[in-house]
Amino acid sequence: MKKDIHPESYRMVVFKDMSIDKSFITKSCVNTKDTIVWEDGNEYPLFKVEISSESHPFFTGKMKLVDTAGRVDKFRSRYAKKGDTKAAAPEAPASEE
């Protein structure tokens, strides 16, 4: 095994699931700028996540659409083809009978 490839800056970090407003604490070496006071009264670094095992459909068994940043709209606008007939279909003129 190679030496000196793993980080040594492990510390207790609070991870907060922003979609359901739940937090948990674990050891990590993730870089953060925010801090939070945990239940034990100590201040820990805070890392915000949009989805965790508490809110992911695989772990909860419930399907739930979490679109906090408009990702669906961003995806559609990014990958919409120019001249896509479904996206911007002009109305056909009324036929004269």
pLDDT at residue number 89 = 46
How many C-beta atoms surround the C-beta of residue 22 within 10 A? 13
pLDDT at residue number 67 = 57
How many whole angstroms separate alpha carbon 46 and alpha carbon 25?
9
- Asked if residue 63 belongs to a domain, the reply is yes
Q: How many domains does the chain have?
A: 1
Residue 75 in this model has a pLDDT that exceeds 70: yes
Phi (first) and psi of residue 20, to 5 degrees? -125, 5
Q: Residue 64 gets which letter from DSSP?
A: -
Residue 64: which domain range?
A: 11-68
- For residue range 10-65, list pLDDT tens digits in order: 999 999 988 788 899 999 999 999 999 999 999 999 999 887 767 766 656 666 55
- Asked if residue 42 belongs to a domain, the reply is yes
